[in-house]
Amino acid sequence: MKILVCISKVPDTTSKINFVDNNSKFDQNGVQYIVNPYDEWYALVRALELVESNGGTVTTITVGNSSDDPTIRKALAIGANDAVRINANPTDSYFVAKQIADYAANEDYDIIMTGKETIDYNGSQIGSMLSALLEMPFVSLASKLETEGSKAVLERDVQGGLEVVEVDFPFVLSASKGMAEQRIPNMRGIMAARTKPLKVIEPVEQKALTSVVKFELPNPKTGCKYVDPENMEELVELLHNESKVI
């Protein structure tokens, strides 16, 4: 079984979000980066479990520059066999999908996995775009994955419920919570990761179709109005007459 897992780096969840250059760029100052939790906790770990029981390899792929290498090494420490980095600044999701699709088109992967979204841009786009570019079926928001030969059975999140679906290899999925449990890399994994292959390849030509012109921070709350815990009639009154939400 040959699995490709898309890995991206994101600011640590406790990061202060600020912008520089006239609010046009994310302020990286002092920001710690982590592997996007959906890519790591769910997609990568499930991929590893599958090859542990069926044999095969897990390759990670990242579109980014050398500042992504520490997070790629983290994914290798958790257990991926090798990694590919496409040496480019990820300008928009179509650009990223195009780079990954171009690489994956010649590699015969059985399953291509992404996290359901990144926690920075929250786009939820790459998996769906990859499936278009590679002409593969796409199982979105998958929370369970079992394989049998060259077939997979998945559970996915749809409007109003969970759907059980069946699909033949190859296919693309986006992983959401439930797919696997987070794994903490051990010392042996961390040591081994240093020498695992990380192949750097050059990007294909592609213009960005969208761009961010500026960022803004939401208006902060103006202060909390405290209500006596004995007097919930007052709260109901406020919700009805002051904020008009009920």
Partner 1 sequence: MSVLVFVEIKDKLTKAVQETITYGKSLGNVTLLTYGDVSDSLLLETGNFGAEHVLICKSINERNEQLLSNLIINAVKKYNCEYIVLSQDQTGKAVGPRVAANLEAGHISGAISFPEKSDEFIVKTNVFSGKAIAFVSVHTPIKVISILPNSIPPKENKTTALITEINEDLGEARIKVKELKPLGDGIPLPEAELVVSAGRGLKGPENWGIVEELANSLGATTACSRPVADIGWRPHHEHVGQTGVAIRPNLYIAAGISGAIQHLAGVNGSKVIVVINTDPEAPFFKAADYGIIGDAFEVLPRLTSAINNFKSSQ
Ligand X SMILES: Cc1cc2nc3c(=O)[nH]c(=O)nc-3n(C[C@H](O)[C@H](O)[C@H](O)COP(=O)(O)OP(=O)(O)OC[C@H]3O[C@@H](n4cnc5c(N)ncnc54)[C@H](O)[C@@H]3O)c2cc1C
Sites for ligand X among residues 204-243 (CB under 6 A): none
Q: How far apart are CA 87 and CA 62, in angstroms?
A: 9
- Could you tell me the smallest distance in angstroms from the CB atom of residue 223 to ligand X? 20
- Could you tell me the smallest distance in angstroms from the CB atom of residue 173 to partner 1? 11
Question: Which one among 18, 19, 23, 37 touches ligand X, defined by CB under 6 A?
Answer: 37
Q: Is the Cβ of residue 64 or residue 115 nearer to partner 1 in the bound state?
A: 115
Q: Is the Cβ of residue 195 or residue 219 nearer to partner 1 in the bound state?
A: 219
The answer to whether residue 11 forms part of the interface with ligand X (CB under 6 A) is no
- Could you tell me the smallest distance in angstroms from the CB atom of residue 197 to ligand X? 28
Q: Which residue carries 């710690």 as its tokens?
A: 32
Spatial CB neighbours of 74, under 8 Å, sequence gap ≥ 6: 34, 35, 40, 185, 193
Q: Which residue carries 């994101």 as its tokens?
A: 10
Q: Which does 158 bind (CB under 5 to 8 A by kind): partner 1, ligand X, none?
A: partner 1
Three-point CA angle 102, 107, 109, nearest 5°: 105
Q: Which does 163 bind (CB under 5 to 8 A by kind): partner 1, ligand X, none?
A: partner 1
The answer to whether residue 13 forms part of the interface with ligand X (CB under 6 A) is yes
CA–centroid distance for 102 within its chain: 19
Ramachandran class of 122: left when φ > 0, alpha when ψ lies in -120 to 50, beta otherwise? left
Q: Is the Cβ of residue 66 or residue 210 nearer to partner 1 in the bound state?
A: 210
- Listed residue (179, 3, 169, 12) closest to 83, CA to CA: 3
- Could you tell me the smallest distance in angstroms from the CB atom of residue 228 to ligand X? 15
Q: Is the Cβ of residue 106 or residue 226 nearer to ligand X in the bound state?
A: 226
Whole-number Cα distances in Å, 17 to 67, 133, 148: 19, 33, 44
Can the peptide bond before residue 170 be classed as cis, meaning omega within 30 degrees of 0? yes
Question: What mask of x and - would describe binding to ligand X in positions 49 to 88, judged by CB under 6 A?
Answer: ----------------------------------------
